[in-house]
């Protein structure tokens, strides 16, 4: 059971509970206990399991999009709005990839299994931002000229790598629904969705290659460290599982 699902016997001991409804309820329970009456545990729905939590996360995920949309409309994206849009949507794609990959380790580190509820939504938002990134590039950089886009993808290796990442994301987005898991079988579905590790590495290489031309690696290094931690956690977990399997 989720550790957040019940309030402990005396939450009034927590400083933040002062004057809160939880404290009032706890004091009432304490009074009842002192008078010998049976104390029913006070149940509280964990915040992460609340139906509104998904709506809040959805709205938060859309914020960067609306912020950029507003910036384009109000002309506040700087001297080169097209470049700013392409870059910002690329940044958000990489950030959402990292956030999605952070769900599993965070579930373990924080002991909050309910975080898993948001993983699919975060993954689909990653796809949403990469499509927005591609459309911004196709429209603002190439005027939706398919011939020019194809030539550019072939000519510039960093764009070829980004395109490989986008293409790999398509089957993941298309099979992100429960019916697809049933249809494919859990093992095959899981195998396919491991492509996310290749995608994040392609995204990082794309970013590195682009910045290499400008000899500017500071941000790339930050992403590289975050991705190394997220993938390193998985390698460690897989090795521990294998070891446990060989012992038993």
Positions in the binding site for ligand HEM (CB under 6 A):
83, 86-87, 90-91, 93-94, 130, 133-134, 137, 141, 153, 159, 162-163, 165-166, 199, 202-203, 206-207, 210
**CB contact at 8 A, 102 and 233:** no
Confirm if 195 and 189 have CB atoms less than 8 A apart.
no
Query: In the structure encoding, which two tokens stand for residue 214, read together?
Result: 């400008």
What's the angle, vertex CA 197, arms to CA 191 and CA 202, rounded to 5?
130
State in angstroms the smallest separation of the CB of 233 from ligand HEM: 20
Residue with tokens 């599982």: 241
Chain-centre distance for alpha carbon 56:
14
Pick the closer one to ligand HEM by CB: 117 or 141: 141
Nearer to ligand HEM, 123 or 162 (CB): 162
Q: What is the DSSP letter of 37?
A: -
Provide, rounded to whole angstroms, the least separation between the CB of residue 84 and ligand HEM.
9
CB nearer ligand HEM, residue 49 or residue 209: 209
Q: What is the smallest separation between the CB atom of 50 and ligand HEM, expressed in angstroms?
A: 31
Q: How many CA atoms lie within 13 A of 205 on its CB side?
A: 15
Nearer to ligand HEM, 24 or 148 (CB): 148
Q: Which residue has the tokens 């993983």?
A: 119
**Minimal distance, residue 108 CB to ligand HEM, in Å:** 25
Cα–Cα distance, 200 to 88 (Å, whole number): 17
Q: Which is nearer to ligand HEM, 76 or 219 (CB)?
A: 219
How many CB atoms are located within 10 Å of the residue 50 CB?
A: 12
Residue nearer to ligand HEM on the CB measure, 44 or 83: 83
Q: How many Å is the Cα radius of gyration of the chain? A: 24
Shortest Cβ 87–ligand HEM spacing (Å): 4
Phi-psi region of 143 (alpha: psi -120 to 50; beta: other; left: phi over 0): left
Least separation in angstroms between CB 130 and ligand HEM: 5
């Amino acid at each position: 059971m989720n550790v957040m699902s019940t309030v402990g016997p005396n939450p009034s001991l927590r400083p933040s509970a002062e004057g809160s409804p939880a404290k009032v309820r706890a004091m009432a329970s304490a009074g009842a206990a002192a008078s010998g009456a049976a104390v029913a545990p006070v149940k509280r729905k964990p915040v992460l399991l609340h139906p509104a939590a998904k709506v809040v996360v959805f709205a938060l995920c859309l914020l960067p999009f609306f912020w950029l949309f507003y910036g384009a409309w109000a002309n506040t994206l700087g001297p080169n709005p097209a470049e700013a849009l392409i870059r910002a949507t690329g940044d958000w794609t990489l950030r959402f990839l990292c956030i999605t990959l952070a769900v599993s380790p965070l579930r373990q580190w924080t002991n909050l299994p309910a975080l898993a509820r948001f993983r699919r939504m975060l993954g689909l938002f990653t796809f949403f931002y990469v499509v927005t990134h591609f459309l911004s590039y196709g429209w603002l950089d190439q005027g939706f000229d398919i011939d020019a886009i194809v030539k550019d993808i072939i000519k510039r290796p960093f764009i070829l790598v980004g395109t490989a990442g986008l293409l790999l994301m398509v089957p993941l987005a298309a099979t992100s629904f429960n019916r697809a898991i049933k249809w494919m079988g859990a093992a095959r579905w899981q195998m396919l969705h491991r492509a996310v590790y290749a995608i994040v590495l392609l995204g990082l290489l794309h970013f590195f290659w682009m910045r290499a031309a400008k000899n500017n690696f500071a941000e790339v290094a930050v992403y590289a460290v975050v991705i190394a931690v997220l993938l390193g956690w998985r390698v460690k977990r897989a090795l521990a599982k294998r070891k446990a399997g060989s012992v038993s």
